[in-house]
Amino acid sequence: MTDPNDTRDTGPRIGTPLWAFLAGVTVIGFTALVVAMLRLDLGPLVELARTPLFWVLAVLVVLGELRPVMVSSATAVGGTYPSTMFTFAVLLHFGLPVAVLMQAVAVAMNGVVTRKAWHRVMFNIGQSTLALTAAAVVLGLFGIVPSPAVPWTPAGDDLVAIALAGVAYFAGRATLVSGAVALHERRSIARVLRVTVGPQSLVYTALLGLAPLVVVVMNHSPGLVPLFVAPLAAVYFTATLSMRRDHQAMHDELTGLPNRKMLIVSTEEALAESRHDERVGLLLLDLDRFKEVNDTMGHPVGDRLLQLVAHKLTHSVRPGDVVARLGGDEFAVLLPSIRDTHAAREVAARLRAALTEPVRLEGMTFDLDGSIGIALYPDHAPDFELLLQRADVAMYLAKEGRTGVELYLPDKDRNSPERLNLLGDLRRAIDNRELRLHYQPKVGLTTNAVHGVEALLRWRHPVRGPIAPSEFVPLAEQSYLMRQLTAYVIDAALEQAARWWHSGLRVQISVNISARDLLDSALPERLELGLAKYRLPPAAIQLEVTERILTGDQAYTQETIKALAVLGVPLALDDFGTGYSSLIRLQRLAVSEVKIDASFVRRIAESQDDERIVRSIVDLVRSLGLRSVAEGVESEDVALRLADLGCDLGQGWLFCEPMPPAEATIWLRERFQSTPEIEYGYRPEVTQTA
């Protein structure tokens, strides 16, 4: 069974319920051990000790106690020691005193070899002694009281007594150990028993069921007893392989932490068993500046650093809390039982304090930090998905505000129940690859040459039909899905670009990303890997960000922008003119293209004010050495006026509406064939990063 405190070697605090429980079991168990020893007749014991059988059994019990049979990787379920089979056989054949003596010696040797804390060793001796005593009491009720002087060998009509004694033994150990685990991890004993009894009852049934056969062999052919090691080894290796598969499915390969699957299971269990006066907390943690380590020292060092971070986190939480890795440098911490928001903030502060401690690795000192978002059940969400989504919202508030830790605040979250249902549908649409990209060309206003296309996301919901990007993209921006959605779009765009470039259509594809995407330090790396995968130059793709990036704090986004510039991926500024941009920031931002918002472009033929605004933007962009693109060009009159104003490119329904990939390919080939003298596609002298 599981040992309590298996993640700590320090003893429980004196006066706590756990300390009282461990002390009580230890005292009662050792009392039973002393009583059993007082009943032992030394004469027959000495005679027994002179036989090879005694020492063979002693060795098998000690060896069987050194390494458990693992049946599950779940936190609350530990291993079952093979010594159970031989200890129970000794109980049946030679009686309780010899059995508890062998078991106590084996547990003590296990503690020495594995360096367990003294209180754990004492407790394990106490609880195993009480379990054996319970089994001996059941046997006594049937008149079975073996001893070294009068050994007992079971017969067929003794199966009921043996079965009930085995149940008493298993129930005793399960109850005592589960009680300690429940107190240690602040869980209900019913939950621990439910998780523990199922997986381990089968192994205990096999081990205890073989014990009578061991006794029969001991009585008739003692030299054959070691042969029982063979089936025991088969049970051990079968269980080990099963546990290994279970562990791989439920744990992160790099850090060994629980993965998203196990986090979901643990959270759902905690929600189902939460009490009305307590909360369940979910913390989402994202490392800051982690990409610098990968870029500077390489991925092996980055992986080692993630392992150290995982170690820090697991040693900074309370017993029973679950630390999981969701992927990359993102971790989650489940608090199955937490008093209130203040207690949750205390745990988050302790985690962040552990992260900020300098780390020595490869002869260098690394200073890390993290942003943590907190969401609580039932205050903020009723289930795992909503808890994760709202912890994600809080985490990005902490990252953007550089506060380190933030609690979810409903007034800062624009999501409604309907939008949250849509968010779940969007996640499934991404997983099932139901989203599609359409492409709209950007055309030279004076040359009529194609200078690339913009990828526009389209989603046809199986029930609601077409859903506008303006409805689901902002929803994704405020959730944990934005990173996944961006990765999906970039990969789809690169895949299409590869088809075009490798067939002779060197058309640059522009992809819209949010300001939040620029907070993701892994974005340049994702692009670099994608370009290498599809054998494309950086010029094959361009990223478009909205003007909002100029009005916010660029401290976090600047590193990503620099990395994109080094990679050679051009950056464009979208919807320019709708905000209050700083010209100094625009000049410093590494963009090659500025897109004028359609709201101004559509009205230049009717409003002199809008025409003056567009003229000013075009002149500003030209003075900075950038290229101007007018969005929403829908008439010849507007296109001519834009050309007169000096605007470089136009994009809109006048030239072409957004097309699916097959139609866009036909349109581009026809365009190329009709104007073969026009250089179209990416032009280095125009779109290099400023």
Q: Express each pLDDT in 557-607 by its tens digit.
A: 677 788 888 888 888 887 665 544 445 455 556 678 888 888 888 888 777
Asked if the model's pLDDT at residue 679 lies above 50, the reply is: no
CA atoms within 13 A on the CB side of 690: 21
In sequence order, the 6+-apart residues with CB closer than 8 A to the CB of 157 are none
* Poorest-pLDDT segment among 446-450, 641-645, 659-663: 446-450
Pairing of strands 279-288, 369-377: antiparallel
Between CA 389 and CA 423 the distance in angstroms is: 9
Asked if the model's pLDDT at residue 676 lies above 70, the reply is: no
The closest alpha carbon to 461, from 495, 492, 421, 514, belongs to 421
With contact defined as beta carbons under 8 Å apart, do 387 and 267 qualify?
yes
Instruction: List strands edge to edge, sheet with 279-288.
Output: 322-327, 330-338, 279-288, 369-377, 405-407
Mean pLDDT value across residues 680-690: 36
Between CA 181 and CA 385 the distance in angstroms is: 28
The closest alpha carbon to 278, from 189, 183, 190, 379, belongs to 379
Q: Which residue has the higher pLDDT, 260 or 225?
A: 260
Sign of CA dihedral 32, 120, 71, 89: negative
Query: Would you state the torsion angle of the CA atoms of residues 243, 181, 81, 194, taken in this order, to the nearest 10 degrees?
Result: -60
CB atoms within 10 A of CB 317: 19
Asked if the model's pLDDT at residue 179 lies above 80, the reply is: yes
CB atoms within 10 A of CB 112: 9
Between CA 496 and CA 304 the distance in angstroms is: 36
With contact defined as beta carbons under 8 Å apart, do 359 and 365 qualify?
yes
The closest alpha carbon to 49, from 82, 152, 33, 41, belongs to 41
Q: Which residue has the higher pLDDT, 678 or 449?
A: 449
pLDDT at residue number 510:
92
Tokens read off for 208: 């205890």
pLDDT at residue number 71:
57
Pairing of strands 509-512, 541-546: parallel
| Domain boundary assignment for the chain | 17-246, 260-413, 437-687
pLDDT tens sequence across 47-97 = 888 888 888 888 888 888 877 766 555 444 456 788 888 899 999 999 999
Between CA 336 and CA 281 the distance in angstroms is: 7
This prediction has a pTM of: 0.49
Q: Where are the alpha helices (DSSP H) in 624-660?
A: 636-645
How many Å separate Cα 475 from the centre of its chain? 22
SS3 category, 511: strand
The helix-helix angle for 299-314 and 341-355 (nearest 10°) equals: 140
Label residue 298 by pLDDT band (50, 70, 90).
low
Q: Where are the alpha helices (DSSP H) in 258-318?
A: 260-272, 290-297, 299-314
Mean pLDDT value across residues 511-540: 86
Residue type at position 27: V
pLDDT at residue number 409:
81
Highest averaged pLDDT of the listed ranges 162-166, 256-260, 567-571, 591-595: 162-166
Label residue 629 by pLDDT band (50, 70, 90).
very high
The closest alpha carbon to 459, from 492, 483, 416, belongs to 492
Between CA 395 and CA 331 the distance in angstroms is: 11
pLDDT at residue number 354:
86
With contact defined as beta carbons under 8 Å apart, do 225 and 217 qualify?
yes
pLDDT at residue number 496:
94
Domain 260-413 has CATH 3.30.70.270: yes
What is 437-687's CATH number, 3.40.47.10, 3.30.390.30, 1.25.40.10, 3.20.20.450?
3.20.20.450
Asked if the model's pLDDT at residue 238 lies above 80, the reply is: no
pLDDT tens sequence across 310-325 = 888 888 888 778 899 9
Between CA 408 and CA 410 the distance in angstroms is: 7
Tokens read off for 428: 């499934």
**Phi then psi for 652, rounded to 5 degrees?**
165, -175
The closest alpha carbon to 318, from 286, 284, 346, 285, belongs to 346
SS3 category, 359: strand
Residue type at position 407: L
Percentage of residues of the chain with pLDDT beyond 90: 22
The closest alpha carbon to 180, from 106, 122, 239, 110, belongs to 122
Label residue 545 by pLDDT band (50, 70, 90).
confident
Tokens read off for 557: 């986004």
Give the position of tokens 């030299």: 223
SS3 category, 262: helix
CA atoms within 13 A on the CB side of 386: 20
Q: Which residue has the higher pLDDT, 438 or 307?
A: 438
In sequence order, the 6+-apart residues with CB closer than 8 A to the CB of 150 are none
With contact defined as beta carbons under 8 Å apart, do 78 and 68 qualify?
yes
Label residue 7 by pLDDT band (50, 70, 90).
very low
With contact defined as beta carbons under 8 Å apart, do 291 and 382 qualify?
no
pLDDT at residue number 677:
40
Task: Tell me how far CA of residue 106 lies from CA of 121, 124, 128, 166, 316, in angstroms.
Answer: 10, 11, 11, 20, 33
Tokens read off for 185: 């991890």
pLDDT tens sequence across 198-237 = 667 777 888 888 888 888 888 888 888 788 777 777 766 7
